[in-house]
Amino acid sequence: MPQLDTSTWFTTIMTMLPTLYLIMQLKLLNTNYYQPPLTKNSNLLSHKTHWQPKWTKICLPPSQPQRS
């Protein structure tokens, strides 16, 4: 039964490691990561509306009928 020739294993493994590293770097370079939303300063936001920016009271109808 012949012996397994392991003389080239070291060279194969040592060339495989940088190759895998480069492949992973190239894959990570093309990956789009989630960007967190930018914080907005409320003082800089201005809405052009035709109404006054103030609180209004909303009157809802009574939830139960009124008894006489």
> How confident is the prediction along the chain (68 residues), in pLDDT tens digits per residue?
788 888 999 999 999 999 999 999 999 998 887 877 777 665 655 666 666 667 666 776 767 666 65
Q: Is residue 44 part of a domain?
A: yes
Q: Is residue 25 part of a domain?
A: yes
Is the pTM higher than 0.75? The answer reads no
Q: Is residue 65 part of a domain?
A: no
pLDDT for residue 31: 86
pLDDT for residue 66: 63
pLDDT for residue 41: 65
Burial class (CB in 10 A: 0-12, 13-18, 19+), 14: exposed
The domain tally of the chain equals 1
Residue-number span of the structural domain to which 32 is assigned: 6-59
Residue length of the chain: 68
Q: Is residue 32 part of a domain?
A: yes
